[in-house]
Amino acid sequence: MSVHQIIYTSCMRGIDGVNDGQQVYSYDAGFQGAGSDEVKSLFTYQPPALEPGVVMTEELARTMPRSFTYRRLENGACALALNTYLGRDYMGSAGRFGNHLSHVVVAGREDMLHYPCEFYGSGLLRDHMEYEEVNNPQRPEYLPAPVLERGYAVDIDRVVEFLGVEGRMEILKNMVCAVLSFETERKRLLICDEPENILLWIAAVEYTLPLPAALDLNFTTYAFDPSLSASQICGVVPQGTRFGPESARQHFVFDLLGDSCPELEKDGRYYDFLETSLSFSYDSLEDFHRFLTEGYSYAKAGSQLVEAYCLYTLLSDGLTSLAGEELEGALKFAVEYGLPGEKSQVLENILSQRECLLELEAPLLLKAARFSMSLYSVVDEGLRAQIRELLVDRVLWDFLYSQEGEEGFLAFYQALDSLCQGGGFSLATQLMEESNREKLFAAMKDSGALWKLAFIPRVVTAYVKDQDLSVEQLLPDTPLGQTYCGLVQVVAAQSAANGQYLVQQILDGFAGQWDHLVSMALNLEGVLLDQPGGEQGAEAMWRHVEQRMAGAPAEGRRQAMALLMREQRYEMVFQLYSQAMAQARELEECQRTFQDHYREFVAQGSAYAAYAAYAGPVMECYYERLRRFDRKASRAAAVELFQTLADSGSGAPFGERLVQELACEIPFAGPSRENERFIQTAYTYLHRMGRPIEGRLSLLLAGMVLEACGKPGQIGEAKDTLCQMLQTGGADLGGLSQREAEEYFSWVLPRGCSMCGNGRDIQDLFGLFRMPAAVEPLFFSQCARIFLKQGRSGRDSRDYPMFCVFLSLVFQRGTPQVLQSVGKAVGRLNKQKLAELDDSVRTVYGRDRASIRMWERVREEAASASPILENLTNLFKWRKDKP
C-alpha cells in the first residue's frame, strides 16, 4: 500500500464539489479510501469549552490544544492525523469561529519504519491553510502523494533527557504497566500534563515497545471525551472537557498537573530493565526488541512482553536466573509465539545447561521438561535423544540425592512420566535400556531406603506393561524374572518384613493384569520358601493375592484360575471361586459364577479332572449363597443345582438338606410335571447315596404311589412298593402340623379310599403311613367322611357297606380320640340317615358286644356333635341374650 493524504477544513469549495463550509478540501488522486468512515472519524475535533462569559478570539484560538493522533485502521493500514483549531472559517477576519483543520496521512504498515510519535513536527502534517487556498471558488487540485518523514520534535535522546527529571522514570513504569494491562483491565491511559509533555510521555511509552507493538497502540495527544475515544492513550486537559474526577474510575489517570499518579503492581525485573535501558543504554532495549521481532510473532503492547523479557533473560543468563512463575511464563511465551527455528534454539539452549537441569528444583525442572516435550514431535532425533537422556539422568539424580522422600520423589516421577507418555515413550522403557538399567541398579545398592528398593520393581513392571510382555517372559529363568526374584531374595534375606513389603509392591504393580499377578506370585513363592520362616511368608503373600483378586472381573479371575489349575493349586482356585461367590450381589450373578466355574473346571470332560474332588465344596458354596436369597425367587436355581448334584453323583453332605428344603415347597396336591420329576430324581439320588427317604419327600412319594393305583384292590401292592422304596414301615407324618396333615389327607385319602374294596385294603391304606397319636384321629375322621359319602351315593342309600368294613379298623384301634373323630363325622348325618346307619352297623356287628359298645360311644359322640342339637343350643342362647 502506498502513502496517501487527505485534508478536511472550512473552504469555499472542496474537491468533491461541495460549496461553502467544513468539508474535504482535497486528497491525493490515488487515495481510494478517502470516503471511508474510519478516515472521516479522524476529522473529529472539539475544542475545550470556554469559561462562562469568555468569548473566543484569535489569541485564544491559538492556545487550543492540537490533537496529534495515531490509529491502526481495520484494514491494517496506519493513520497519522493532526487536528488543529484555526478559529475563523475560510472567510478570514470576516468569518465565524469554529473552524479546524484535519490533515490525515494513511500508510501501509510496511511503510511505517519509525515510531508514530516521531512524525510529529515534520512537514508531513499541515497545521494551517493559506487564505488563497480555502477562499477560492475553483475546485482544488489533487494533493500530491505524501512522503513519510520524521519530525524534529521527538527522538530517543530527547525522551531520555525528559525522563531524567526526578520521579518521571517511576511514572513511566506505571504508565507502561497500565498500557500492558489493557487486554485484561480494559482501561485507557489518560495523561494530563503540559501539551508538549503529553507527546513526550506517549513517545516514552512507545520507545519501550518494539516497533510492531507500537504500531498496534492507538494514541491521541488530546481528546475532548476520552471515554468515547478510539485511542488507548489519551492526552487530556484539566478544564473545559469531559475529563474530570470521575475519569479515574474508568481509566488509569496520570494527572501530572494535579500531582496524582497511580502506583500499579508490576513485575520488578522487566520494569527495572526498562529503567536501566532508558537511563544508561537504550541499545540494550533495542537488542531486546530485535530479539522479539526477529524470532517471535508477538506484535502487541500486552502483558506477554513481561514473559518475553523473562525468556530473553533465560537465554542470556541461564535457568537459575528465573523464579518458578517467571520460567513458566518464559517457556509459555516461547511455545505460543516462537518461530519454528527460534523454538529449537531455545530448546538447545536449555539442554545445554545439563548440570543446572540436574540440580534444578523439581517444580522448575518440570516446567523445562514440559516445554521440551511440547517440541518433542517436531525436533530432530538428535534433540529427542538429548531430551530422553536428560530426563532419565534427572530421575536417577533425584533417586540418589533428593531429600524429598518417597512421596515427593514419586510425585515428581509420575509428573515427568506423564509428560513422556504424551510424547510417545515412557520413562520406565528408557530406564530399562541396558546402560540406564545398570545405573538404576547401582543406585539401588547405594541406598538402604525401603521405598527406593520398591521403586525398582515398579519401574520394571511399568516396562513390562509398556512392552506388553507375556507371562512366559517373566518366568524365573528369564532376565526380567531373575530381576524380580533377585530383588526379593536380597531384601528378604535382610528383613522378612521388608521382603514381604517388596513382594506386595511387586504384586500390586500387576493389579488389573490378573494372570500376570498370579504368575508372579507363583514365581516369588519359591524365593520366599527358601528363606527362614518361608511358609508364613508364602501364606501372607497368597492372602495378599486373594485380597487383590477381590477386585478382578470375571474374565480376569478365570485367567488366574486357569493358571493356578495348570500349577495344580486347587485350594487357591477354590478360594478365588468362594471369594467371587461371596461378592456376588444378585441372584443372576451367583448363578453365572457357579455355572461358569463348574462348566470350565469341574464338569465331566473338563481339562482339570483332578479338581473334580472339589465338586462337592463348589456346589455347597453355591448352595449356601442361594440360601441368602428369597426362597421363592431362588427355587429354580436351587432345583437346577440339585439336578447338577444328582448328575454328578456326588455325595455332598448338603444334598439331603437341599432335597428336604425343595420338597417342603411342593404342595400336598397332584404334583406338576416339574415337581414329579424332582420327586423321582430326589428319590433316585438319595437311594443311590444310601440315604433314608424321610419327611415330606416320603409323603409325596406315598401320594404318587396311591395316584398310580389303577383299580380297586391294588392298595396292598402300593403299600409293598412304598415300604420297599422307603425301607421303613410307611411314610412318616410325624413332622406335620395339624393343618398340614389335614391338607395331606385331603389329597391322598379320597384316591386311597376309592381303591379300597375290602377290609384288607383299608388295613393296607392305614399301613401306608406312620402316624403319631395326634395325627391318627385326622386319618379316621377323613376316611369316615369319605366312606359315609360313598354309602349315601350308592344304589341303596340305606346301606353303608364300606363304612361298616371301615368300622372294623376303627374298633380295632379303639382309642377314645379315634372314636371321637369318627363320631364327629357320623354326627353330620341327619336323624333318618343316622338311624339307617345304626341299623346297618348293628346288622353287621350285632353279635360282637365289644364292637357294639364302641359303636355306642361313636353314637354318643355323634349325638353331641349333631347339627340339630347345636342349632337348638344356639336358639336357647339367642333367647337368653335377647332383652
pLDDT tens for residues 93-145? 767 898 999 999 999 999 999 999 999 998 899 999 998 899 999 999 999 99
CA-to-CA distance for 125 and 107, rounded, in angstroms?
A: 13
Cβ-contact 611, 593 below 8 angstroms: no
CA-to-CA distance for 681 and 666, rounded, in angstroms?
A: 14
What pLDDT does 323 receive? 85
pLDDT above 80 (res 31)? yes
pLDDT above 90 (res 847)? no
Give the lowest-confidence range in 171-175, 229-233, 481-485: 481-485
For 800, residues 6+ apart whose C-beta sits below 8 A from its C-beta are 787, 788, 791, 836, 837, 840, 841
601 secondary structure, DSSP code:
I
What pLDDT does 792 receive? 61
Neighbouring C-alpha atoms within 13 Å toward the C-beta of 641: 32
pLDDT tens for residues 697-749? 999 999 998 888 877 778 888 888 888 888 777 888 988 999 999 999 999 99
What pLDDT does 798 receive? 53
CA-to-CA distance for 341 and 55, rounded, in angstroms?
A: 65
CA-to-CA distance for 242 and 195, rounded, in angstroms?
A: 17
What pLDDT does 409 receive? 87
What pLDDT does 793 receive? 53
User: What is the b/e burial string over 813-851, where b = at least 16 CB atoms within 10 angstroms of the residue's CB?
Assistant: beeeebbbbbbbbbbebeeebbebbbebbeebbeeeeeb
Percent of the chain residues past pLDDT 90, beyond the cut: 63
Cβ-contact 464, 480 below 8 angstroms: yes
Instruction: Give the dihedral sign, CA 581/586/587/589.
Output: negative
Instruction: Look up residue 808 and give its amino acid.
Output: S
pLDDT above 70 (res 679)? yes
Angular region, 858: left φ>0, alpha ψ -120 to 50, beta rest: alpha
Continuous segment of H or E residues that includes residue 428: helix 427-431
pLDDT above 70 (res 880)? no
Cβ-contact 683, 698 below 8 angstroms: no
Name which of 342, 198, 190, 205 is nearest 253 in CA terms: 190
Maximum CA extent, the chain: 172
Cβ-contact 303, 183 below 8 angstroms: yes
Q: What is the average per-residue pLDDT within 450-471? A: 86
C-alpha separations of 179 from 41, 183, 206, 286, 503 in Å: 23, 9, 10, 19, 62
pLDDT above 60 (res 877)? no
Quick one: pLDDT band at residue 863, thresholds 50, 70, 90? confident
Cβ-contact 722, 702 below 8 angstroms: yes
Cell of 551: 477386585
pLDDT tens for residues 323-347? 888 899 999 999 999 998 899 999 9
What pLDDT does 878 receive? 44
pLDDT above 80 (res 434)? no
Continuous segment of H or E residues that includes residue 177: helix 168-180
What pLDDT does 445 receive? 62
Continuous segment of H or E residues that includes residue 189: strand 189-192
Name which of 248, 233, 236, 152 is nearest 195 in CA terms: 236
pLDDT above 70 (res 873)? no
Strand order in the sheet with 97-107: 19-27, 4-13, 97-107, 78-88, 67-72, 219-220, 233-236, 189-192, 252-255
C-alpha separations of 36 from 71, 79, 83, 148, 690 in Å: 14, 13, 18, 22, 112
Three-class DSSP category at 350: helix
Percent of the chain residues past pLDDT 70, beyond the cut: 96
Cell of 236: 487530556
Instruction: Look up residue 71 and give its amino acid.
Output: R
Q: Where are the alpha helices (DSSP H) in 708-767?
A: 715-726, 738-754, 759-767
pLDDT tens for residues 47-86? 999 999 898 998 999 999 999 999 999 999 999 999 999 9
Cβ-contact 269, 309 below 8 angstroms: yes
Q: Environment class of residue 555 by beta-carbon count within 10 Å: exposed (0-12), middle (13-18) or buried (19+)? A: exposed
pLDDT tens for residues 501-551? 889 999 999 988 999 999 999 999 999 999 888 899 999 999 999 999 988
What pLDDT does 33 receive? 87
What pLDDT does 869 receive? 45
Continuous segment of H or E residues that includes residue 233: strand 233-236
Q: Environment class of residue 127 by beta-carbon count within 10 Å: exposed (0-12), middle (13-18) or buried (19+)? A: middle
**Between the CA atoms of 839, 844, 846 and 851, what dihedral angle is there, to the nearest 10 degrees?**
-110
Helix (DSSP H) and strand (DSSP E) numbers for the chain: 42, 11
Name which of 883, 787, 779 is nearest 826 in CA terms: 787
Angle of the 587-597 helix axis to the 615-626 helix axis, nearest 10 = 180
What pLDDT does 429 receive? 85
Residue 234 has phi, psi (to 5 degrees) of -130, 130
Cα-based angle 634, 559, 569 (whole degrees, multiple of 5): 90
pLDDT tens for residues 405-418? 888 888 998 999 99
Three-class DSSP category at 57: coil
Cα-based angle 421, 426, 428 (whole degrees, multiple of 5): 150
Residue 87 has phi, psi (to 5 degrees) of 95, -105
- Please give the distance of CA 447 from its chain centroid, rounded to a whole number: 38
What pLDDT does 867 receive? 54
pLDDT top residue among 433 and 275: 275
What pLDDT does 876 receive? 42
Whole-angstrom Cα Rg for the chain: 55
What pLDDT does 729 receive? 76
Cβ-contact 131, 137 below 8 angstroms: no
CA-to-CA distance for 330 and 496, rounded, in angstroms?
A: 51
CA-to-CA distance for 657 and 665, rounded, in angstroms?
A: 13
Average pLDDT along the chain: 89
Span between the terminal Cα atoms of the chain, in Å: 127
pLDDT above 60 (res 797)? no
What pLDDT does 594 receive? 94
141 secondary structure, DSSP code:
P
CA-to-CA distance for 331 and 374, rounded, in angstroms?
A: 10
The total of other beta-carbon atoms located within 10 Å of residue 51's CB is: 8
Cβ-contact 367, 328 below 8 angstroms: yes
Three-class DSSP category at 715: helix
SS (H, E, C) 241-258: CCCCCCHHHHCEEEECCC
What pLDDT does 882 receive? 46
pLDDT tens for residues 573-631? 999 999 999 999 999 999 999 999 999 998 877 777 788 888 899 999 999 999 999 99
Cβ-contact 734, 726 below 8 angstroms: no
Cβ-contact 173, 179 below 8 angstroms: no
Cβ-contact 153, 199 below 8 angstroms: yes
What pLDDT does 677 receive? 92
Give the strand pairing for 233-236 and 219-220.
parallel
Instruction: Look up residue 235 and give its amino acid.
Output: G
Angle of the 738-754 helix axis to the 695-707 helix axis, nearest 10 = 20
For 53, residues 6+ apart whose C-beta sits below 8 A from its C-beta are none
pLDDT above 70 (res 447)? no
For 735, residues 6+ apart whose C-beta sits below 8 A from its C-beta are 695, 696
As a residue count, the chain comes to: 883
- Please give the distance of CA 143 from its chain centroid, rounded to a whole number: 70
Give the strand pairing for 233-236 and 769-770.
unpaired
The total of other beta-carbon atoms located within 10 Å of residue 795's CB is: 5
Quick one: pLDDT band at residue 872, thresholds 50, 70, 90? very low
